[in-house]
Structure 1
Amino acid sequence: MRAIVIYNSNTGFTEQYARELSERLSCPCVPLKKLDKAELHAYDRIIFGGWVMGSMIAGLDKMRSIAAPDAVFAVGCTPPFDEVVANVQEQNNLTDTPLFYLEGGFRFDKLGLPQKMILKAVKKSTIKKSNRTRQENFMVEVLGTSFDHFDKTQLEPLAKYAETWK
């Protein structure tokens, strides 16, 4: 069984997880933007990873337009609260594809001005809410800062799932 890990990363956390996973599974790791569609026929299984913003997995629609992934990992800056994972799964229509949510981090300094402005506006409006969710409280605490919660042990469930393909 030949697998490939394809990823879309913005500030590097998704790439870290993708490389770690490909090393663990002894399979290639390719950024979505450099994917050669013709080469996909050589693989039996596709694992796609993308970063999360607003519950959407960046690059997943593009990946689906090329080929359907057999598993998806989503890297977000918030902890894997049940409601966060459920929302990501629902918003990305992942009812039939296994989803693995991994907490990455946030590199505020690597964002462009438009993204920074949007996040500042989100934080400002979230602060004003009286009954915030756990995710909103987390966002108020960390938006506008940089932090790193990368932990390769979070890959364990996905790696074990992929190893059943062999």
Structure 2
Amino acid sequence: MKTIIIYKSKTGFVKKYAEWIAKDLLADIYEVSKVNVNTLTKYDAVIYGGSLHAVGINGVKFITRNIDKLMGKRVVVFASGASPSSEKVIKEVITRNFTSDQQKHIKFFYLQGGFNYNKLSSFDKVLMTLLKWNIKNKKKKKKELTSDEIGMLEVLDKPADFTRKSNIDEIVNYVNS
């Protein structure tokens, strides 16, 4: 099966996963800005990877806007974020990023990535600083923090990499099945 991997990575975790998947599937790999929808016509399987930000998949509109041109192909989208996988979050990501029709044609996977404040854009650093202040303020008021908020406080000041090559196994098996 001729496969292409397309990705958009802000801090490198999605790129790492995309490279591992491409190697295992002997697939072509491109950063999303280097391809257009016509590039995809010669492939049987299209895999898109993007980082997760507030349950939105970075750059996934490249796939969703062109889903009609991908009919008959195996379409996979994966997202990577710092939080551990949870069924609740995965359902929220799917419903926020894909219409019910798109969900019939797109197989979604979540791969835990990591967080590195130093690799963020200036705008994203401002947003993360505001989030940190918000969480610390909540903690100061003795309000209960969610596990995601506790985790974010832990990784905001030091890089964390939760990527594991074995995390791609489900995607590779799905494409090869």
Compute the TM-score of the two structures, normalised by the length of structure 2: 0.84
SS at 1:24 equivalent: helix
* Equivalent position of 1:41 in the other structure: 41
- The Cα RMSD (Å) is 1.8
Equivalences for residues 95-134 of structure 1 within 5 A: 95-96=103-104, 97-129=106-138, 130-134=143-147
Q: More deviation in 4-13 or 84-93?
A: 84-93
- Provide the rounded CA distance (Å) in 1 between the counterparts of 2:145 and 2:96: 20
Secondary structure at the aligned position of 2:65 is classed as helix
Matched pairs, number: 164
Q: Percent identity?
A: 29
Aligned amino acid, residue 114 of structure 1:
F
Q: What is the CA–CA distance in structure 1 between the aligned matches of 2:86 and 2:59, rounded to whole Å?
A: 22
1:61 corresponds to 2:66:
no
Tell me how far 1:38 sits from its aligned partner: 2.6
Cα distance change on mapping 1:82 and 1:143 into 2, 3 Å: farther
Matches of 1:83 and 1:108, distance apart in 2:
26
Counterpart Cα distance in 2 of 1:88 and 1:135: 15
Question: Deviation digits for residues 47-85 of structure 1, max 9, x if unmatched?
Answer: 111001111000001232244571111011111133332
Question: Which SS does the other structure have where 1:49 is aligned?
Answer: strand
Q: 5+ residue gaps in structure 2?
A: none
Question: Aligned pair 1:89/2:94, yes or no?
Answer: yes
Task: Say if 2:14 is the partner of 1:14.
Answer: yes
Which of 167, 173, 177 is the equivalent residue of 1:154?
167
Check 1:59–1:34 CA distance in 2 against 1; reply closer, same or farther (3 A cut): same
Q: Are 1:107 and 1:147, in contact at CA under 8 Å, matched by a contact in 2?
A: yes
Residue 81 of structure 2 is aligned with which of 76, 83, 100? 76
Any conservation in 2 of the 1:32–1:63 contact (CA below 8 Å)?
no
Distance in structure 2 (CA, Å) of the matches to 1:91 and 1:136: 21
Structure with the greater alpha carbon radius of gyration: 2
Query: TM-score, with normalisation over the residues of structure 1?
Result: 0.89
